[in-house]
Amino acid sequence: MKPIFPLACLLLPAALAAADSADYTESFDTLYNSLTVQKTGSVVELRARSRRGEALESAVDLSDPLRLVVGYTQTLYAGLLFQPKPARVLMIGLGGAGFHRLFTAAYPTALLQTVELDPTVLELCESRLAFKPTAQTPVTLMDGRVFVKRDQGKWDWLILDAFRGGYVPPHLKTEEFYRECAARLTDRGVFISNLHMGTELFYSDIKTIEAVFPQVVLFQTTGRGNVIACAVKYRAPDITDPGKWPEVATLMEPAFAGHLDLAKVRGERMVEPWADVLHARVLTDDFSPVEFLDTVKTNDTKER
Amino acid sequence: MSFLAFYTVVVTLGVLSMGFQLLASRLLSPHFGSSIIVWAWLISTFLAAFSSGSMLGGWISNLAAERRHRAQVTGAALAVISLAVTAGFGRPILDWIEVAFLDVGTALLVSCALLFFVPVTALSSFGPQCVQYLAARDTPPGKASGIVYGVSTLGNIAGVMLTAFALIPHFRVSALLYGWLAVAVLSLAALLHLLRAPASP
């Protein structure tokens, strides 16, 4: 017991300093989440409390709104390698709208439709994270799957980034749902999903996506446990050969300058963990023990 | 021995009722999500079924012997048939409801009423009859009621924990629904047999 007091004495000033450095920290218990909003300088972070602690959902730099503060939001732009002209984008999960600002600056005429289940998340985006939905960036408050089922549109990008307290609801992880998503993609559309490494769920995620989409390419966000899966519903042309991907320079938009390093994103491509995926089970509406698989740690336990 | 069988059946019915609620949530979520709206309808449906079943069971337990036996067999048959419908046709029925009712609240009301209300009502109707069973065998009515609902609630807890932590992680929901059907057939058959046995003089 003795070492605890000196250790506490050492850590306390650091903890107090961290708390002091924040301009404000607010907590919100919503219908679906326990959220923390913290502003430090010009950066506002949106975190969801979960059994793993607080998961950083999104962050925005109010002094430079185009800056992609959270690493995986850069990796989401890997979709450009497979569908370079995203005119219609559907995003399931609003978070702090960290992805939205740069996208609309780069593609001002594109439609970025977002579906969010939690009304408080939208309220916080508007009141704390300076995001205002527009005709180009409408937000619909609805379950993502119900929206996809009822939606009649076709999308160039369909981004799945829905989390509830650090995990994805099981019905947004199944083969049947991915088939519904595939049906809503344009012929050359790309399905983009934010996955988490570190548990058995990751391998089932990949196997389930591959059960629906003939071609899947994975990108691992540098320094984090996020993996962005890009999947398409066609077999040809081949998208898995990086040699056939468009040159990064041809994909650059003026707004990307200083905000998005597409060469780095391209370099984040990861080799699929074939051996582990081989033994994973495909998740279906009939069998989707997502919560259970998400508790089974793999040997690769990188920070999430 | 018959009391051991009796309490086993009471626990099993408790397991079936509440475990079924978790399976129901898995059945609904691909169609309507897993929002608080879904859970509100689901929990309300089960509570309405518990309420209706208790009142129905109370009425049945005071019928004359012959009519009571007929009502018990009818209740058990209703439970089994409605569970079979949910297990065999639950997904196609939900596919139809999803298209037929665009308002999510209405769709959930119809789904819960068609797939879950009847089997849970029928299962719950045996609670008061189990109380009557004990009361007719020298257990004071108040004590009999406390024992049956206490034991049944332990079954509810076991049903929730077993379903959440052991069954859903390892088995398909469709397989579990057929498992529920099989266990319901066996436990209701045993209970009907017990309820028909004459009380000791």
pTM, two decimals, is 0.86
Provide block-wise average pLDDT over 10 residues at a time, chain B (201 residues): 88 95 95 89 97 97 94 97 97 93 91 97 96 93 96 96 94 96 97 86 55
CATH number at residue B104: 1.20.1250
pLDDT at A302: 44
Of the partner residues B33, B170, B173, the one whose CB lies closest to the CB of residue A146 = B33
Residue B138 gets the label, from left (phi > 0), alpha (psi -120 to 50) or beta, of left
- Judged by a CB distance cut-off of 8 A, whether residue B170 touches chain A is yes
ipTM, interface predicted TM-score of the complex: 0.82
Q: Do B32 and A31 touch (CB under 8 A)?
A: no
B179 part of contact set with chain A, CB < 8 Å: no
B40 lies in which domain range? 2-196
Give B145-178 pLDDT, tens digit per residue. 999 999 999 999 999 999 999 999 999 999 999 9
In tens, the pLDDT along B47-65 reads: 999 999 999 999 999 999 9
Comparing CB atoms, the residue among A149, A171, A176 nearest residue B34 is A171
Identify whether B23 is part of a domain.
yes
Q: Is residue B151 part of a domain?
A: yes
DSSP letters, chain A, are: -TTHHHHHHHHHHHHHHHHHH-SEEEEEE-SS-EEEEEEETTEEEEEEEETTEEEEEEEEETTSTT---SHHHHHGGGGGGT-S--SEEEEE--TT-TTHHHHHHH-TTSEEEEEES-HHHHHHHHHTS-----SSS-EEES-HHHHHHH----EEEEEE---BTTB--GGGSSHHHHHHHHHTEEEEEEEEEEEE-SBHHHHHHHHHHHHH-SEEEEEEPTTSSEEEEEEES--SS--S-GGGSPPHHHH--GGGTTT--HHHHHHTEE---HHHHHHSPPP-SS---HHHHTTSB-S-----
Q: Tell whether B74 is covered by a domain.
A: yes
Domains of chain A: 71-293 (3.40.50.150)
List Cα–Cα distances, A86 to A157, A175, A216, in angstroms.
Answer: 6, 25, 18
Residue A298: the pLDDT is 62
What local confidence, expressed as pLDDT, does residue A11 receive? 45
Identify the pLDDT of residue B99: 86
Contacts of residue A117 in chain B, CB cutoff 8 Å?
A: 33, 35
Distance in Å, alpha carbon of A42 to nearest chain B alpha carbon: 33
pLDDT at position A1:
39
The pLDDT assigned to B183 comes to 97
Tokens of B77: 């048959």
Give contacts of A148 with chain B, Cβ < 8 Å.
none
What is the dihedral angle through the alpha carbons of A185, A186, A188, A192, rounded to the nearest 10 degrees? -30
Q: What is the model's pLDDT at position A48?
A: 86
Q: How many domains does chain B have?
A: 1
Q: What residue of A is the nearest CA neighbor of B32?
A: A146
Question: Which member of A117, A170, A287 has the closest CB to residue B29?
Answer: A170
pLDDT value of position B177 = 97
HSE-up (13 A, CA, CB side) for residue A26 = 13
C-beta of residue A281 within 8 angstroms of C-beta of residue A200: no
B32 → closest Cβ in A31, A146, A292: A146
- How far apart are the CA of A284 and the nearest CA of chain B, in angstroms? 9
Is B201 domain-assigned? no
For A178, the closest chain B residue by CA position comes to B30
Tens of pLDDT, residue by residue, chain A (304 residues): 344 444 444 444 544 454 557 888 999 988 888 899 999 999 999 988 876 677 788 899 999 999 999 999 999 999 999 999 999 999 999 989 999 999 999 999 999 999 999 999 999 999 999 999 999 999 999 999 999 999 989 999 999 998 876 677 899 999 999 999 999 999 999 999 999 998 899 999 999 999 999 999 999 998 778 999 999 999 999 999 999 999 999 999 999 999 999 999 999 999 999 999 999 999 999 999 988 888 876 654 443 3
